[in-house]
Amino acid sequence: MTTLADLGDRRRLAESTRRLGGFLDPEAFAQQAAREIDRLLQVPLSSVAVYEDAGMLSMLGVNGERTQRYRGVRIPAGQGLGGRALVERRPISVQDYLNDPRISQEFADVVRGEGLGGMIAVPVMHEGDILGVLYGATRSVGSLGDRAMTLLQATAGSFAPLMSLTMRASRALSERVHAERLRIASDLHDDVGQLLFSIGVAAAQMAQSASEGPMAESALHIEEQARVAARRMREAFEALAPSEAHETVPVALRRELADLESRAELVTHLVVRGTARALPPRIETALVAGVRQALYNIQQHAEANMVVVTLHFAEAAVTLVVQDDGQGLPEGFELTAIPRGEHNWGLTSLLGRVEHLGGVLELTTNEDGGTTLRMSVPCEPVGA
């Protein structure tokens, strides 16, 4: 983080950072952060874009805007000032946005509507992950100055841990909601779905045996109602499924952990690092299989109290890490391609699946006890 020489700036930054604690909603955080940037920089326009989807920023926090178009604008990586700062992972400033040849002009109309000239964009990063971009802008041509650049960089560094906590809390809440919806859908499919199917079959058989008359009419009516109920339930399944493709794996893992907590006295945590993205079905299946096998082994053999599952989306790979605080691996344990005896069939099968995908599977005992399963599979971003 860039250091500040001015004691007053340091104090104001500390106060602004303190006021940002406790937010659980990224949009509310971004809006308050934009207000704090205004207090610190005292510029005509301050704003905060949040890195929501892979390669996309959303302008969620704005202070001092003149038009509605600026708020909520979505910025692809590489486009405009913020998109360039996102890709290059460094602060970028311009003195005249509309006439600077280094900046693409996809947002020229928005900038012109706001009457902006000089602008600074500083990426917010925490533990190597991009969280968003902070902006400061004037409505005249010219530089915002070294102090503004230094202060905005320091602000990005100071806000980053709190922004990361807010985004993780929001994501965890969303994953829990979707996991519960997935559980409800599964229960409906297994119980009510089978019941409706059985009712429909029984009604059809009754209608055939009755041939005609009131009994046959009633049976046909029941059969039709069962079909209608089944169709509506399928519509409910669609509504209960994860709404975005990139949510699929985190939601599935969240559900697996919830199932483990329900049948064993274990505390579980899911940590998602990087920006979640849609994955090929074969990789999704392997990741879910990996966590299921790890959790099964933990429940059966580890005598653990806590499990932490980390899903890390890197640029060219996705990594699953499952850690427990149990008794560790048996002495002399080796992960082999051919199972020995009646044990390790599940791990051997998982190893074959991971290697078929070009990935790596490791199982080790932690230095302080417990076991770590690490599974890494190459996965290029969509469109790469």
Separation between Cα atoms, residue 49 and residue 110, nearest integer Å: 15
Amino acid 314: pLDDT? 87
Instruction: Judge if 107 and 160 occupy the same domain.
Output: yes
Assess whether 325 and 186 both reside in one domain. no
Q: Is residue 229 part of a domain?
A: yes
In a domain, 20, yes or no: yes
Compute φ and ψ for 200, nearest 5 degrees: -60, -45
Instruction: Flag whether 91 is in a domain.
Output: yes
Same domain, 213 and 253: no
Residues 185 and 230 in one domain: yes
Pair 231, 259 in one domain:
no
Cα angle: 235, vertex 196, 222; to 5 degrees: 105
Average pLDDT on 336-351 reads 70
Domain stops at, among 192, 216, 240: 240
Q: What residues pair up with 134 in beta bridges, in sequence order?
A: 48, 122
> Side by side, which strands form the sheet with 74-76?
74-76, 56-63, 45-53, 129-137, 119-126, 92-94
Distance CA 62, CA 116 (A): 14
Model pLDDT for residues 227-273, shown as the tens digit of each residue: 777 676 666 655 555 555 556 788 888 888 888 888 887 888 888 88
Q: Do 292 and 189 share a domain, yes or no?
A: no
Confidence at residue 23, expressed as pLDDT on a 0 to 100 scale: 80
Position 179, amino acid: A
Which of these ranges, 28-37, 136-145, 248-257, 363-372, has the smallest mean pLDDT? 248-257
pLDDT at 384 exceeding the cut of 50: no
Task: Specify the CATH number for the domain of residue 121.
Answer: 3.30.450.40
| pLDDT (0 to 100) of residue 248 | 75
pLDDT per residue over 103-116, tens digit each?
988 999 999 999 99
C-alpha closest to that of 375 among 319, 313, 331? 319
Tell me what pLDDT residue 275 has.
79
CA–CA dist 158, 40 (Å, integer): 13
Write down which residue in 240, 268, 284 finishes a domain: 240
The secondary element (H helix, E strand) that includes residue 1 is none
252 and 342 both lie in a single domain: yes
Residue 335 burial (CB count, 10 A):
15
Asked, for residue 1, whether it belongs to a domain, the answer is no
* pLDDT, position 129: 85
Supply the pLDDT for residue 330: 81
For residue 223, being part of any structural domain is answered with yes
Could you tell me if 38 and 62 lie in one domain? yes
pLDDT given at position 340: 61
The answer on 49 and 27 residing in a single domain is yes
Measure the CA–CA gap between 47 and 65, rounded to whole angstroms.
Answer: 9
| The pLDDT value given to residue 383 | 43
Show Cβ contacts of residue 215 under 8 Å, excluding neighbours closer than 6 positions.
206
Which domain range does residue 181 map to? 175-240
Same domain as 190, residue 62: no
Q: State residue 60's pLDDT score.
A: 93
Q: Determine, yes or no, domain membership for 132.
A: yes
Residue 384 lies in a domain: no
The model's pLDDT over 188-242, given as tens digits with 9 standing for 90+, comes to: 656 666 666 677 677 677 766 766 667 767 767 777 777 777 676 666 655 555 5
| End residue of a domain, out of 117, 148, 172 | 172
Calculate the alpha carbon distances from 225 to 2, 20, 183, 197, 218 in Å. 67, 54, 25, 11, 11
Average pLDDT over residues 270-293: 87
Q: How far is CA 133 from CA 14, 49, 55, 108, 177, in A?
A: 19, 5, 13, 18, 28
In the 8-state DSSP scheme, what is residue 268?
A: E
* 196 and 253 co-located in one domain: no
State the Cα–Cα distance between residues 197 and 202, nearest whole angstrom. Answer: 9
First to last CA, the chain: 31
Identify which has the larger pLDDT, 168 or 1.
168
Q: Is the pLDDT of residue 36 over 70?
A: yes
Alpha helices in 20-73 (DSSP H): 26-41
Same domain, 146 and 252: no
Per the structure, how many domains does the chain have? 3
pLDDT at 174 over 70: no
Residues 136-154 have a mean pLDDT of 93
| pTM of the predicted protein model | 0.58
Average pLDDT over residues 304-323: 90
CB 81 within 8 A of CB 119: yes
Domain assignment present for residue 2? The answer is no
pLDDT at 139: 94
Per-residue pLDDT band for 153 (boundaries 50, 70, 90) equals: very high
